Amino acid sequence: MEQEDSKKFLIIGGGLAGSSLAHHLIQRNQSVQIIDDGENHSTRVAAGMVNPLVFRRTTLSWRAADFLQYSWEYYKSLEHLLNITLAEPLLIRRIFPSEQEREEWIKKQELPDFQAHLTPLLESETPQKYKTAFGTGLVKSGFFVHAQDYYLKNRAYFSNQGLLKSKTFTPSQLDPMSGTYENEVFDHIIFCTGYKNSSCPFFNNVPVKSTKGQTLEVKSDIFPENESLHLKCFVFPIGQQKFRIGATYEWDNEELVPTETAKIHLLDQLKYISEQEVEVLSQPIGIRPTTMDRRPTMGTHPQFPKLHIFNGLGAKGYLLAPRLAAEMAEYLLDGKALDPEVSLKRYKFFS
């Protein structure tokens, strides 16, 4: 196999998008440098769940068949590189809120596209400690990623390889036409800045929203430690009878301050699953990069061909990032077209 010509890439942001893209470019023998300020507030709120289903309508997530196996293999391959366990299987239990959803679930679990994902449970098989009149179903193909470990271990790895500069990106130091940053010329510069996208003068009109998410860390002896529960909120096990309860969606909000209103709201949502009191230990907060159409944004600036964006992964980021990073690398290196649903060109001011 012939060695690929190496180009110089500068990635702004070392979170989920930036790190995934960096790994894919390195695999293809490209020269990569990452700038990351170490303040990844999206990781703070991420449970790291990878769920191929959208519960409200019992549908598969966008391109789930493309993403699910690829993302699992990506995280497992990194375990050897980073010397850590990153991804683990997770049963995801949907508590049905209505007979209609239960019937829809049972009907769809017989369909070829759903058979690998859904397992229906009868009312008699549903644990009595959950409040439900309609039974539950299991998503058997889900898993979770240790989100904070993923971020921190990747930072350490890239730093040890001399690929990471732990600093804040300074737009005034960039010549967008030549691709020169701090007197170094790059072939491609990719902005993976998450919710901080608005501070980037080249892509700040891309509608990446700052969506604050508040969660609760609680202690309880009634919830299972080997599965995640979902009805109105999620109950995610984190070990030693501790659980994450989440999450709120507060649009256009970057305040990393917990609120009593959010705490009361989450505890009220939890009562749909169980009336038993829980002990609240802490209230983690994060900021997600989201878009109105729930699709990431990828592409090249129309005026500056060396500048690109890979952002807006949102709540399904751990499912989407690995495969989309591969597609971004193919776009940059091979000229392969991006999926129109994620293309920057879907916004009229970039078309």
Residue span of the structural domain in which 165 resides: 8-45+148-207+292-350
The reply to whether 78 falls in a domain is: no
The reply to whether 117 falls in a domain is: yes
Question: What tens-digit pLDDT sequence spans the chain (351 residues)?
Answer: 345 689 999 999 999 999 999 999 999 999 999 999 988 777 656 789 999 999 988 999 999 999 999 999 999 999 999 999 999 999 999 999 999 998 999 899 889 999 999 986 655 455 556 677 788 899 999 999 999 999 999 999 999 999 999 999 999 999 999 999 999 999 999 999 999 998 889 999 999 999 999 999 999 998 999 999 999 999 999 999 999 999 999 988 888 899 999 999 999 999 999 989 999 999 999 899 999 899 999 999 999 999 999 999 998 999 999 999 999 999 999 999 999 999 999 998 776
The reply to whether 343 falls in a domain is: yes
Q: Do 254 and 331 sit in the same domain of this protein?
A: no
The reply to whether 177 falls in a domain is: yes
- Choose one of 290, 314, 329: the last residue of a domain: 290
- Choose one of 290, 306, 325: the last residue of a domain: 290
Positive or negative torsion for Cα 213, 51, 48, 20:
negative
* Cα-to-chain-centroid distance, residue 158: 20
The reply to whether 33 falls in a domain is: yes
Measured distance CA(238)–CA(218) in Å, rounded: 10
Neighbour count for residue 226 (Cβ, 10 Å): 8
Q: Do 28 and 130 sit in the same domain of this protein?
A: no
The reply to whether 247 falls in a domain is: yes
The reply to whether 60 falls in a domain is: no
Q: Do 258 and 272 sit in the same domain of this protein?
A: yes
Residues 6 or more apart whose Cβ sits within 8 Å of residue 257? 285
pTM of the shown model: 0.94
Measured distance CA(42)–CA(210) in Å, rounded: 10
Q: Do 261 and 305 sit in the same domain of this protein?
A: no
Measured distance CA(24)–CA(19) in Å, rounded: 9
The reply to whether 219 falls in a domain is: yes
Measured distance CA(155)–CA(69) in Å, rounded: 25
Number of domains in the chain: 2
DSSP class of residue 308 equals E
Q: Do 216 and 266 sit in the same domain of this protein?
A: yes
* Cα-to-chain-centroid distance, residue 28: 24
Q: Do 185 and 238 sit in the same domain of this protein?
A: no
